[in-house]
A = this chain, B = another copy of it.
């Protein structure tokens, strides 16, 4: 898109994104500058595959602006969505451990701007700066809890409840009486993210509407009675409502 931006603007982008990223919290300015030397900006057009599962890893990424899908796919073309990430999120970094290959594939959901850094510089900075190791541990444990929740939802919640739960996480941690929100990406992708087929998603959303009184207008969803939705969705969940993190 703006690949003709002047150098100064690019640098601003990198610094802004890096300081926006929890992983590098606590670094000194000089350490950040060092990182910037190694970083490059990548523009990934919608549908662009950044890497595939089990490919040998050389880089990891930070989303500057856009959406990235992490997924795994079988030989016969089925795919399981692991996560969908946006601004400030990091991915591909776990390839630093284990056998050094990516544990899933990554693809741009829409035109996306990313920062690419070599795995080797992550290794260096972790060894040089213990804070970064702690930041990384923190982000990994957060992700881990998210995955545990996901696994629970897949086994205990039905399709309408999973959608309801997703909507509630979009609301954030405060619990207003009513709220209007927009689905962050298209319904087909959201269906995959929630482990169901598009047709099932459509029907499940309709059922959620009739059961909880939400109203739907394309990607815009109005929840007139949040408490009602909480009762409907969270009854089959081990967590009490404001389920913190909203990593869509």
A148, B238: Cβ atoms under 8 Å? no
A199 within 8 A of B: no
A150 contacts across to B, CB distance below 8 A: 151
A130 contacts across to B, CB distance below 8 A: 127, 130, 133
- Contact among B78, B103, B126 with A156 in the assembled complex (CB-CB below 8 Å): B78
A239 contacts across to B, CB distance below 8 A: 53-54, 72
Rounded to whole angstroms, the CA-CA distance of A74 and B233 in the bound complex is: 12
A73, B238: Cβ atoms under 8 Å? yes
Rounded to whole angstroms, the CA-CA distance of A96 and B142 in the bound complex is: 11
Candidate in A99, A147, A154 with the most chain B CB atoms within 10 angstroms: A147
- Using CB atoms, name the residue of chain B closest to A72: B238
A144, B74: Cβ atoms under 8 Å? no
Rounded to whole angstroms, the CA-CA distance of A236 and B80 in the bound complex is: 11
A184 CB to nearest B CB, Å: 20
Q: How many residues of A contact B (CB 8 A)?
A: 47
A137, B133: Cβ atoms under 8 Å? yes
A202 contacts across to B, CB distance below 8 A: none
A80, B140: Cβ atoms under 8 Å? no
- Contact among B72, B97, B127, B154 with A138 in the assembled complex (CB-CB below 8 Å): B97
A21 contacts across to B, CB distance below 8 A: none
A114 CB to nearest B CB, Å: 21
Please, what's the 1-or-0 string for A209-240, where 1 marks a CB less than 8 Å from any CB in chain B? 00000000000000000000000000111111
| A130-B130, A235-B74 as given contacts; A97 in contact with B148, CB under 8 Å | no
| A151-B154, A195-B155 as given contacts; A141 in contact with B236, CB under 8 Å | no
Enumerate A166-207 residues with CB–CB distance to B below 8 Å. 195
A154, B195: Cβ atoms under 8 Å? yes
A82 within 8 A of B: yes
Known pairs A80-B156, A150-B151; list 9 more (Cβ under 8 Å). A72-B148, A72-B152, A80-B155, A98-B138, A133-B133, A140-B144, A147-B147, A147-B148, A154-B155
